[in-house]
Structure 1
Amino acid sequence: MKILPRLFFIFAFLAIFFLIVAYSRGYRLDIKEKSFTPTGILAITSLPKAAKIYINNELKGATDSNITLPPGEYTVEVKKEGYTGWKKTVNLKGEWVLSLNAVLFPLNPSLSPLTNLGIIRAIAIDNTDKILIFSENNNLEKDGIYLFEGSQTPLPILPPLKLILAKKNLPENIDFKKAEVTFSPDYKEVIIDLKTIDNFYPQANFSYLLSLDEENKNPLDITTSKQALIDAWEKEKLAIKLKLLNAYPKELAKIASDSFHIISFSPDETKILYQAKKTINLPAIITPPLIAVNQTEETRQLKKDSIYVYDKKEDKNYLINIFPKNINQLNESLVQWLPDSKHLIFLETKKIAVVDYDGTNKQTVYSGPFESLFFKVNSDSRLIILTNLNPETNPLPDLYAVGIK
C-alpha cells in the first residue's frame, strides 16, 4: 500500500516539472484547442525607459517588458511623448525570445554653447572626441589653430581650447578656409596644407607638421617632403584596419580586404560600415544561421558603390539605402557611428538624422541651423555642430552641443 502514494508523488512531481519546463520555454494552455501550444516572447526595452508599447496598434504595456505572444507576424511600435517613435515588424516563432531595443530621440533637442571664439573652419579628428578649429577674426593675438577636447569638461562650462598654432607665426595672407589636413595614425600629429588668399599674388602653398599635444611656436615646414610622410602614415592606417579585420572570420576578412572600402568600424568593433568596391556575392559565414536574431532582410549580393553594414556577431549584411546614389566614396564627414554601435548618424540636406545599423527606423534628430559641412558625435553621445544663432551681430559660427539623448 505504501507504493501507491510514492508513485503518485513521483508522477505529480514529474507532471509539475514538465509544466514548469514547458512554461519556461513559452508553452501555454490553449483552452479552445485543449492543448499546450508554443508561444514566443518579445523582450522590449527602450531608451528612455517607460515608453508605451503597441503591438498591431494595441497598447500592451510599457518598456521594459517581456510580452508573451503566439507565433505570428507582429508590428511593434514604441512611443513616448516628446520623443521620436520607433517601429519594427517581426516574425515570432514558438519558443523564441526576440530582444528589441528602441532608442528614441527628443523632438526638441537642447542647444548648449561650447566655444565663443568665432570659427571659420572645424575638422573632426577621427576616433577621438577632439576637433581642430581654425579661428580668423582679424585679431593678431587670438587668430590661429586650436584643439577642442570635448570630453574633458562637463557642460555647461565652456571647455578650454588648446592653442596649436598662432596665425601670426605663419606667412602673411594665409587663407584658413582652404586648409586641408592629414592626421597621423595615433592622432598626435597633423599635416596642415595651407594656401594664400585668392587675390594674393604670387599664389603659394605651404605644408606644416604640427604636434597636437602642445603649441607649435616654430612650425616645421615640410612642403617639399610631406608626401613620403603621408605615404608612411597611410601604410600604418592600413595595418590598423587589417589588424581589426583579423578578428573577423578569415573568409570574410579576405573578401573585405579585397572588395570593401571600409568607412569605419563600430566602436565595439563588431560591425563594419563599408562601400562595395565591386559587385560580388558575400557567402554565408555562420552555417546554419542563428535563430532569434535581427529579422531585417539582409543583402548578400553586393553591388559596386552601394553602402552596407556587416554584423560579425550574427553574420548579417544590410544595405544602407539612405545616401545619394551618385556618391563616389563615402567618408566619416558624412556618416558616423553612435557610441552604442547600434546606430548611424548622418548628414542630409539641412538636417541630421539617425538610422538603426540595419538601415531601418530613420529619425531626424536635428533640423535647425548649422554649417552643413561639419558635425561630430562624442563618446558621451553629444552631437556637436557648427552654427551661428545671432548672425546679425556675430559674423562667425561657434561650436554647440545638441542634446539628442
Structure 2
Amino acid sequence: MTKIRLLVLLTTFLFVGSIGTLVFQYAKGFRFNQQTGEVTQNGILVIKSYPDGAEVFINGELKTGTNATIPLPPSTYDISIRKEGFFSWEKRINIKNEEVTEATAHLFKLAPSLSPLTFSGVQNVFASPDISKISYTVPLSSNNNDSEGLWIIETINLPIGFSRDPRRITDGNLDNSTWVWSPDAREILLTTSKGDYLLDTTAFTPQSQRVNIKAQKASILKKWDEEKNKKLQAQIRKLPDEVEDVLTRKASAVVLSPDENMVLYTASSSATIPENLIKALPGSSTQDQERDIKPGRTYVYDIKEDRNFLISEEGAILTGWVDYKELIEIGNWKLEIGNSRRSLAWYPSSRHIIETVEEKVVIMDYDGTNSQTVYSGSYIAPHAYPTVSLERLLILTNLGANSTPANLYSLNIK
C-alpha cells in the first residue's frame, strides 16, 4: 500500500511538473509545428487597439482581431490594424525569440466632429503649463458688452464634453494685453498698457480692483522660474547623468509626458547620448533611434527603455513649456508663443505626440512613426490643444469664415 501511495504521489508530481513546464514553454513562445512535426521557438506579439475589435493584418494577410496575443517566428513584420471608419495603424515590428513585444494602436476617426465651446469670439489663446486650463480673451463688441475680459476654460473631467463652463477672471478691454501662467496654473501675470497685475485663476477680479505690481514683476517671474526648474529637477533626477546633462544644459525646452515616462525636448546644442545607459528590457522598441542630437531638433527620450527618437527637424513650440528666464531678460511676453505656426504637445496616452501645422493636426507615435492627420481644415494654427480625454482635442477656428470671429471647438477624434 505504501508503494502504491508513493507511486501515485510521484506520478502526480511528474504530471503537474510536466504541465507546468509545458505552460512555461508555451508562454515563452514554443509551438508545435504540425507540418514539420517539430517544436519551434517563437516570440509573442501582444497587440491591442482603442477601440478594440479591429482587424490585424500581418505582412498583408488578415490574421485575427484585436485584442490578441499572437506567436510569431523571429523576423521583421509589417503590422496593420484596420477598423471601418478609422485611420489604419501601421508599423514595422521586429519579433525576437522568447520576448513579448507589445503594440498598442490608438485609432482615430476618419471624419471627426466639431462642437462649439465658446460663441462670442475669442483671441490670444494660451494653455497653462500642465494643459489643465486654457485662457483667452473675449474682445469688446456691440454684441457682448458683458463678456469682454480674460476667461479660462478647464480641460479636466470631460466624460461627454467640457463639464465646467468657462469662467471670467477679469473684465475690461484686453485686446493689446498679454499674460503668462504660473507653473502651477493657479495664477496669471497680466500685462496691459496700464500696468502688471497678478490674478487668481479661481476667482473674478474686476478691473477696478486690480492692483498694479509692476515693481514686483521681475521677482515673481524669477520665483516661477525657480519653481519650474525645481519641479523639472525632481522629475529627471533618476535619469542617467548623461541624459540629465542634456536636458538641463543642452535643451531649450523640456516637457515630460503625463505619466512622466517620456521626455519631449528641443536641443539647443549638439551632444551624443551614449548607448546602453540602462540594461535593455525584453520587448523594447525596435524602431530606429537617433542618439546624436543636433540643435533646433526635437526628440523624445524613453526613460524606461533608454531610447531616443527624432520627432521634428523644424522649430516648433512645445506646448506646456514657458521660458520665464527669457521673459525676465527681454520682457517680451509674446515670446511665449512667438511667430511659429507649429507646435508639439503630449497626447494624454503618453505614447503619442500632437503636431499642429497650417490647416492640419497630426497625431504620431512617440517614436515619430505612424503619423495620422486627425483634422484637416481651417483653424488658427498652432492653436490645437490636448485635453485629459483621449477622445477630444480643443481647436481655435472660424470654420473658414474670415469675417467671423474664431471660437474654441471640441474636436471629437475617437
What TM-score bracket applies, with the shorter chain setting the length?
Answer: 0.7 to 0.9
Once the 2 structures are TM-superposed, how far is the Cα of residue 51 of structure 1 from its aligned partner?
A: 0.4
1:210 matches 2:181? no
1:95 matches 2:98? yes
Once the 2 structures are TM-superposed, how far is the Cα of residue 192 of structure 1 from its aligned partner?
A: 1.6
Q: Which residue of 2 aligns with 1:293?
A: 284
User: CA offsets, 1:275-328, max 9 Å, x none?
Assistant: 12221111235444222111111121122222111111111111113x52xx28
Distance 1:6 1:279, change over 3 A: same
- Quote the Cα distance in structure 1 between the aligned partners of 2:75 and 2:241: 37
Q: Which residue of 2 aligns with 1:108?
A: 111
Residues 353 and 364, structure 1, Cα contact 8 Å, conserved in 2: yes
Amino acid at match of 2:105: A
Equivalent residue for 2:134, pick from 111, 128, 131: 131
1:313 matches 2:318? no
- Quote the Cα distance in structure 1 between the aligned partners of 2:18 and 2:87: 48
- Quote the Cα distance in structure 2 between the aligned partners of 1:236 and 1:157: 29
5+ residue gaps, structure 2, are 321-336, 338-342
Distance 1:290 1:189, change over 3 A: same
1:353 matches 2:353? no
User: CA offsets, 1:225-251, max 9 Å, x none?
Assistant: 412221221122111111111233444
Equivalent residue for 2:166, pick from 150, 161, 175: 161
Q: Which residue of 1 aligns with 2:70?
A: 67
Q: Which residue of 1 aligns with 2:389?
A: 380
Give the match's secondary structure for 2:232.
helix
Amino acid at match of 2:379: F
- Quote the Cα distance in structure 1 between the aligned partners of 2:163 and 2:119: 8
Distance 1:72 1:395, change over 3 A: closer
Q: Which residue of 2 aligns with 1:244?
A: 235
1:146 matches 2:140? no
Larger mean CA deviation between 239-248 and 96-105 belongs to 239-248
- Quote the Cα distance in structure 2 between the aligned partners of 1:187 and 1:15: 59
Identity level (%): 32
Once the 2 structures are TM-superposed, how far is the Cα of residue 16 of structure 1 from its aligned partner?
A: 5.4
Give the match's secondary structure for 1:220.
coil
Residues 133 and 185, structure 2, Cα contact 8 Å, conserved in 1: no
Residues 207 and 222, structure 1, Cα contact 8 Å, conserved in 2: yes
1:79 matches 2:82? yes
User: CA offsets, 1:109-164, max 9 Å, x none?
Assistant: 11111122221332212214211120113244321111212335764678422221
Give the match's secondary structure for 2:266.
strand
1:180 matches 2:149? no
Residues 145 and 166, structure 1, Cα contact 8 Å, conserved in 2: yes
Provide the aligned length of Structure 1 versus Structure 2.
383
Amino acid at match of 1:248: L
Residues 53 and 77, structure 1, Cα contact 8 Å, conserved in 2: yes
Residues 379 and 398, structure 2, Cα contact 8 Å, conserved in 1: yes
5+ residue gaps, structure 1, are 168-173, 196-204
Once the 2 structures are TM-superposed, how far is the Cα of residue 194 of structure 1 from its aligned partner?
A: 2.5
Mapping of residues 187-206 of structure 1, within 5 Å: 187-195=185-193, 206=195
Q: Which residue of 2 aligns with 1:171?
A: none
Q: Which residue of 1 aligns with 2:271?
A: 280
User: CA offsets, 1:338-376, max 9 Å, x none?
Assistant: 111000101112111001011110001111221113121
User: CA offsets, 1:157-184, max 9 Å, x none?
Assistant: 78422221110xxxxxx662x4322222
Distance 1:227 1:91, change over 3 A: same
Distance 1:54 1:179, change over 3 A: same
Distance 1:331 1:287, change over 3 A: closer
Amino acid at match of 2:55: K
When the two chains are superposed, the root-mean-square deviation of aligned CA atoms in Å is 2.7
Amino acid at match of 1:383: L
Amino acid at match of 1:239: K
- Quote the Cα distance in structure 2 between the aligned partners of 1:25 and 1:305: 43
- Quote the Cα distance in structure 1 between the aligned partners of 2:162 and 2:231: 36
Once the 2 structures are TM-superposed, how far is the Cα of residue 391 of structure 1 from its aligned partner?
A: 3.7
1:368 matches 2:377? yes
Amino acid at match of 2:180: T
Larger mean CA deviation between 16-25 and 79-88 belongs to 16-25
Residues 157 and 388, structure 2, Cα contact 8 Å, conserved in 1: no
Amino acid at match of 1:387: T
Residues 195 and 214, structure 2, Cα contact 8 Å, conserved in 1: yes
Q: Which residue of 2 aligns with 1:198?
A: none
The normalised TM-score by structure 2 is 0.84
User: CA offsets, 1:41-80, max 9 Å, x none?
Assistant: 1111100100000000000010001111222111110011
Amino acid at match of 1:386: L
The normalised TM-score by structure 1 is 0.86
Residues 343 and 355, structure 1, Cα contact 8 Å, conserved in 2: yes
- Quote the Cα distance in structure 2 between the aligned partners of 1:228 and 1:21: 62
Residues 187 and 201, structure 2, Cα contact 8 Å, conserved in 1: yes
- Quote the Cα distance in structure 1 between the aligned partners of 2:380 and 2:387: 18
- Quote the Cα distance in structure 1 between the aligned partners of 2:22 and 2:319: 55
Equivalent residue for 2:254, pick from 248, 260, 263: 263
Residues 114 and 159, structure 1, Cα contact 8 Å, conserved in 2: no
1:226 matches 2:217? yes
- Quote the Cα distance in structure 1 between the aligned partners of 2:44 and 2:158: 43
Larger mean CA deviation between 122-131 and 342-351 belongs to 122-131
Once the 2 structures are TM-superposed, how far is the Cα of residue 211 of structure 1 from its aligned partner?
A: 1.6
- Quote the Cα distance in structure 2 between the aligned partners of 1:190 and 1:16: 64
